[in-house]
Structures are given as structure tokens and as C-alpha cells.
Amino acid sequence: MNLLSRTAALLTALAASAALLAACGGGTSQLELFKPDRVIAFGDEHSLLTPTGRKYSVNALKTDGTLDCDANPVWVQSVAALYGYRFAGCLGTETVAKAFTRAAAGATVQALTAQIDAQAAAGLTDRDLVTVLVGIHDVKAIYENRAPGETDAQLIARAGERGAELGRQVNRIVALGPRVIVSTITELGRTPYGLSKGAADAALLNQISYAFNARMRVTILLDGRFIGLVLGDETVQSAVQVPEAFGFTDVAQAACAATAPLPNCDDAATFLTTGATSNTWLWADSLRYGPTMQRQIGLIAASRAQSNPF
């Protein structure tokens, strides 16, 4: 099933749910779903399409070997597709992009602030839907730049401060007008990067990531009229614990070979680790989601965008 078919099916299911609610006394008129004029993505490379349509995941190919930017969508493509919107890097037959990304590879919470500044200067309204996913590079930097004598508790506290700042930036977006879909980050101890550090450090990375997510969650405006929360960390936890439920055969290794660094990893044997398949391995590389997890996060985000009372 392609991206448009999946999103159409999701919309049908949501419409049926709304009709059922009304039939059960949940309302006296049809639910009017929020349709934004634009979708704008902020954050790191999880939300990035390059100008040529490449993604920081495993890129799909057409039968003639050329890039298929519609297949293997990143999560923000799934959100945009709900409204029939496309990003400039993957316009297809459209002539005008209504989905935009200010996301950047390696972005941190500090970089997010600059992304918001730039978009605010260009304009934000209450007819915009904004997505936010950032933080893995903050956690990685806190772990890797540990000062001599710095305790685990101090690292965890620093991560909490970064998470709180992310929450404040999300609230700032809301104050500028848009509705926001924000996702928690994966716990880095579950990634191939984290697992390579050994059990003790993987556990520490999970604690640092948890602190980041927890402070973000208690800082953001707790009002579903303005913010929809996607629990990316819990989704990955479930996939690691019960991989068969998600169709995964490997949840610990990177599918892309070291010779094919993202975004230059394609769904072909020459780009993948021996035995890897793009859709049955959770991770594209040591930190980034493969296509199936991107799709799963995207479907959850799309559901939030349609079910929250925006």
C-alpha cells in the first residue's frame, strides 16, 4: 500500500470514529477537522528531505533504479500527505509545495531556536501545522562531552535542562499561532550507537534520554487544542521488546553499510549490511530510524493531527 492509500485509509477510519461519536451522543453536528494551510517541519534530520528528495533513512528506488521519494516516507511526509501536501524535494505532479522543512542534519535544541526565529520572521499563523522532533544530538553531546569528575546525575540534570528548553520552544511556537505535533526522542541506549557502548553506558544513555523527554513533557502546554504529543520513545521500546509485532527481524543493528552514510543509503544490496532488509530492520544507521519505524511514527503523528481538537 502506497503513502496516499495509507493516509486515505487513516482518514476514512477517523471519519468513521467521528460519526460513531456523534451517533453515541458525543455531538450534535459533524466534527470539522482542522486542515492547515501549510505543514512546517522543525528539528533534526529525522524530519529532513533534501532538495533532491533524499532522506536520512533507507531511500526507496523505482524499478529503473532511480529515487522514489514517495516510498519509504519520513514521518513528516505522512503528516503532510493527510492534506495532500508535498515537500519541495518530492513534489511529484504538484507545482506548488505546501509542506516545508527547516530541519537540519545534526540539529540540537539550540539550532531549533534559530529555525523558529527564521520561520517567525518569514511568518507563522494559526493556519499552520508545525512538527517538532529534536534532541538525539543533545543527548549524544552530553554523553560524549562529559567533563572529568562529572557524575551521572549531573549529566542527567543537564539533559533535563535541554528538554525543558525544548518544551519552552514548543510553547513559543504555540504562542505564535500554529498547532504543533511534537515527538519524544528515542532512548539512545536502544540504538546501535548506544548498544555499542556496553550495557552500563547504554543504561546511562537511556537515563539521559528519559530525563530529556520527561522535562519536555512537563514543560509543554498540556492542552490538546494546541499540541499533539507523539511518544516516539515508547514506540521504539515496544518494537525492541516485541519486534515481531512490528514486522522486525532485527532491532539492534544498522541496516545501511558504513560505506553508505545517510542520506546516501538506498534500498539495494550494495548499500545495505549483509542480510539486512530496509523494512524489517528497525535502524537505518547507528542513530536514525529505518523506513518502518519512520512510517509508524508518521501514522501516530497523523492520527494526533486529526484526532486532537485543533
Least confident of 5-19, 112-126, 261-275: 5-19
Domains of the chain and CATH, by start = 3-10+34-232+289-307 (3.40.50.1110)
Read off the pLDDT of each residue in 46-58 and give the average, rounded to a whole number: 97
Residue 304: pLDDT band with limits 50, 70, 90: very high
CB distance 177 to 145 below 8 Å: no
Residue 212: pLDDT band with limits 50, 70, 90: very high
Instruction: Judge if pTM exceeds 0.85.
Output: yes
Residue 36 CA from chain centroid, whole number: 19
Q: Is pLDDT at 45 greater than 50 in this prediction?
A: yes
**pLDDT given at position 204:** 98
**Sign of dihedral through CA atoms 228, 73, 42, 141?**
positive
Least confident of 23-37, 170-184, 259-273, 293-307: 23-37
CB distance 99 to 85 below 8 Å: yes
pLDDT tens digits, residue range 219-261? 999 999 999 999 999 999 999 999 999 999 999 999 999 999 9
Neighbours of 220 (CB within 10 A): 23
H or E, element range at 65: none
26 φ, ψ (degrees, to nearest 5): -80, -10
Residue 26: pLDDT band with limits 50, 70, 90: very low
pLDDT tens digits, residue range 124-167? 999 999 999 999 999 999 999 999 999 999 999 999 999 999 99
Neighbours of 24 (CB within 10 A): 8
Q: Where are the beta strands (DSSP E) in 112-257?
A: 128-133, 179-183, 227-230, 250-254
Number of H helices, E strands in the chain: 10, 7
